[in-house]
Amino acid sequence: MSKPLLHVDDLRVGFATEEGWVQAVDGVSLELAAGEVLAIVGESGSGKSVTAQTIMGLIRSRNASIEGSVRFRDRELIGGGEAALQRTRGAEIAMVFQDPMTSLNPVYRVGSQIVEAIRAHGSEVSTGEARRRAAELLDSVGIPDAGRRVGDYPHELSGGMRQRAMIAMALALEPDVLIADEPTTALDVTIQAQILRLLERLNRERGLATILITHDLGVVADVADRVLVMYAGKVVEEGTLEQIFYDPQHPYTWGLLGSLTRIDRPRPRRLPQIPGAPPSLLDLPGGCSFRPRCPHEFDRCPRLPGLEGRLAEAPDHLDRCWLAPEEKRECRQVEGRIGLQEQA
Amino acid sequence: MGRFLVRRLLGMVAVLFAVSVLAFLIFNVIPSSDPAQRMAGRNATPQLVAAITAEWGFDDAPPQQYLTMMGNILSGDVVSYANRENVDDRIVEGIPATFSLCAGAAVLWLAFGILFGYLSAVRAGGWLDKTLTVVAVTGISIPVFWLAALLLNYLAYQTGLFPSGGYIGLTEEPLEWAYHLLLPWVTLAVLQIGFYSRVLRSNMLDAMDEDYVRTARAKGLSERRVMTRHVLRNSLVPIVTLFGLDIGVLLGGAILIEAIFNLNGIGQYAFESLKGLDLPPIMAIVLFGAFFVVLFNALADVAYAFLDPRVKLESGAR
Amino acid sequence: MDEGSQPSAAGTAQGGAGPWSVALRRLRRNRLALASLALFGLIVLLSLVAPLWAVHVAHTGPNTTHTLAKVVVNGEKREVVDPTGKPTGPLWLGAGGRFLLGADGSLGRDEMVRLMYGGRASLFIGLIAALLTTSMGAVLGLLAGYFRGWPDTLISRTLDVIWAFPVLLLAIALGLVLAVGGLQIGPVTIPSGSIWIPIMVISVVFVTYTARPLRGEVLSLREKEFVEAAVAQGAGSVRVMFRELLPNLWSTIIVFFTINVANSMLLESALSFLGVGVQPPDASWGTMIASGSNLIKSAPLLTILPGAMILLTVLSLNVLGDALRDALDPRSKLRLEVHAGLAEPEGTPV
Instruction: Sketch the domain layout of chain A as residue ranges.
Output: 6-229, 248-331
Query: Which of A280-284, A285-289, B313-317 has the least mean pLDDT?
Result: B313-317
**B26, C314: Cβ pair inside 8 Å?**
no
* pLDDT number for residue C342: 33
Peptide bond into B238 cis (omega under 30): no
CB–CB contact C164 B15 (8 Å): yes
The mean pLDDT value of chain C amounts to: 81
Sequence-ordered alpha helix ranges (H) in C89-224: 111-147, 149-164, 167-181, 196-221
* pLDDT for A66: 94
Interface touch B289/C181, C-beta < 8 Å:
no
- Distance of residue B29 Cα from the nearest chain C Cα, in angstroms: 8
User: pLDDT tens digit string along B204-250?
Assistant: 998 998 999 999 999 999 999 999 999 999 999 889 888 988 888 88
Say yes or no for a CB contact (<8 Å) between C270 and B143: yes
Do the Cβ atoms of A215 and A43 come closer than 8 Å? Answer: yes
Cα–Cα distance, C174 to A53 (Å, whole number)? 59
Closest-CA residue to A232 (of A8, A2, A23, A6): A23
Helix (H, G, I), strand (E, B) or coil at A70: strand
Q: Which of B129, B206, B217 to mutate to test the interface with A (most CBs of A within 10 A)?
A: B217
pLDDT of residue B139: 93
- Give residue C2's pLDDT: 35
Q: What is the pLDDT of residue B228?
A: 93
Q: In this predicted structure, what is the pLDDT of residue B318? A: 41
Q: How confident is the model at residue C126 (pLDDT cuts 50, 70, 90)?
A: very high
Nearest to B29 among C177, C303, C307 (CB): C177
Q: Which residues contact B203 (CB under 8 A, 6 or more apart)?
A: B234, B235, B238, B239
Q: Which CATH superfamily is domain B93-307 in?
A: MetI-like (1.10.3720.10)
Chain A residues with CB-CB distance to C10 below 8 A: 19, 280
Taking all residues of chain B, what is their mean pLDDT, rounded to a whole number?
Answer: 84
Cβ within 8 Å of residue B5, ≥6 positions away: none
Those of residues 295-334 in C touching chain A at CB distance below 8 A are: 333
Q: Calculate ∠ Cα C133-C137-C141, nearest 5°.
A: 180
Q: Which range has the worst mean pLDDT, A168-182, B78-92, B106-120, C248-262?
A: B78-92
Residues of B in contact with A172 (CB under 8 A): 219
**What residues of chain A lie within 8 A of the CB of C23, using their CB?**
none
Residue B211: closest C-alpha in chain A: A103
Q: Strands A20-32 and A6-17: what pairing?
A: antiparallel
From the CA of B58, how many Å to the nearest CA of chain C?
19
> Confidence band (pLDDT; 50, 70, 90) for C252?
confident
Interchain contact C339–B (C-beta under 8 A): yes
CB proximity B308 to A under 8 Å:
yes
Contacting partners of chain C (3+ CB pairs under 8 A): A, B
Choose among A18, A58, A99: nearest Cβ to C341: A58
Position C331 scores a pLDDT of 59
B207: distance to nearest CA of chain C, Å?
A: 11
Residues of chain A neighbouring B234 (CB-CB closer than 8 A): 105-107
Kindly tell me if the per-residue pLDDT of C343 is higher than 50. Answer: no
> What mean pLDDT value characterizes chain A?
88
Euclidean distance between CA atoms A120 and C319, whole angstroms: 41
CATH 1.10.3720.10 segments of chain B: 93-307
Q: How far is residue A37 from each of residues A61, A231, A317, measured CA to CA in Å?
A: 30, 20, 16
Distance CA A82, CA B222 (A): 9
Q: Which of A220-229, A318-327, B166-175 has the lowest mean pLDDT?
A: B166-175
CA-CA-CA-CA torsion sign (A290, A294, A296, A299)? positive
- Is the CB of A15 less than 8 angstroms away from the CB of C333? no
What DSSP string runs through A140-165? HTT-TTHHHHTT--GGGS-HHHHHHH
- Among candidates A84, A89, A68, A70, which has minimal Cα distance to A4? A70
Kindly identify which residue of chain A lies nearest to residue C339, measuring between CA atoms.
A61
On whether the CB atoms of residues A171 and A137 are closer than 8 A, the answer is yes
**Nearest-CB residue to B219 (from A102, A106, A117):** A117
Mean pLDDT of A225-251: 92
On the question of pLDDT at C14 being above 70, the answer is no
Min CA distance, C281 vs chain B (Å)?
A: 19
Distance separating alpha carbons of residues C79 and C83, to the nearest angstrom: 9
Query: Taking CB atoms and an 8 Å cut-off, how many pairs form between chains B and C?
Result: 131
Bridge partners of residue B79, in order along the sequence:
B86
Amino acid letter, residue C208: T
Task: With CA atoms as reference, report the closest residue to C308 among C87, C62, C102, C118.
Answer: C118
Highest mean pLDDT out of A67-81, C232-246, C301-315: C301-315
One-letter identity of residue A80: G
Residue type, A11: L
Beta bridge partners of C76: C73
The C-alpha angle A250, A253, A254, rounded to 5 degrees, equals: 90
- Lowest average pLDDT, out of A143-152, B74-83, C164-173, goes to B74-83
Q: Which of C1, C344, C348, C350 to mutate to test the interface with A (most CBs of A within 10 A)?
A: C350
Q: B125 and chain A: CB distance < 8 Å anywhere?
A: yes
C302 and C82 in contact (C-beta within 8 Å)?
A: no
Q: Which of B214, B225, B309 sits opposite A97 (nearest CB)?
A: B214
Top-confidence residue, A142 or B276:
A142
Instruction: Write out pLDDT tens, residues A54-112.
Output: 999 998 888 899 999 999 998 899 888 888 899 899 899 999 999 888 999 999 999 99
Out of C14, C340, C349, closest to residue A64 by CB: C340
B55 touches chain A (CB under 8 A): no
Who contacts A151 (Cβ-Cβ below 8 Å, separation ≥6)? A109, A110, A111
Question: Is the per-residue pLDDT at C12 higher than 60?
Answer: no
Query: Does C337 lie at the interface with A, CB-CB under 8 angstroms?
Result: yes
Which tops the pLDDT comparison, A228 or B279?
A: A228
The pLDDT confidence band at residue C332, using thresholds 50, 70 and 90, is low
- Report C:96-135 residues touching B (Cβ under 8 A): none
Which of B212, B220, B309 is opposite residue A86, by nearest beta carbon?
B220
Euclidean distance between the first and final Cα of chain A, in Å? 45
Write down the pTM of the prediction.
0.86
| Contact state of C311 with B140 under an 8 Å Cβ cutoff | no
DSSP annotation of C103: B
Cα of B174 to nearest chain C Cα, Å = 30
Separation CA A297–CA A305 (nearest Å) = 12
pLDDT of residue A115: 93
Q: A6-229 belongs to which homologous superfamily?
A: P-loop containing nucleotide triphosphate hydrolases (3.40.50.300)
Handedness of CA C244, C245, C251, C257 (dihedral sign): negative
Q: Are A121 and B220 within 8 A, CB to CB?
A: yes
Q: What is the mean pLDDT of residues A170-183?
A: 93
Name the neighbours of B, counting chains with at least 3 Cβ pairs within 8 A. Answer: A, C
Asked if pLDDT for residue B39 goes beyond 80, the answer is no
Q: What are phi and psi of A90, to 5 degrees?
A: 85, -45
Q: Which of B211, B229, B310 is nearest residue A97 as measured by Cβ atoms?
A: B211
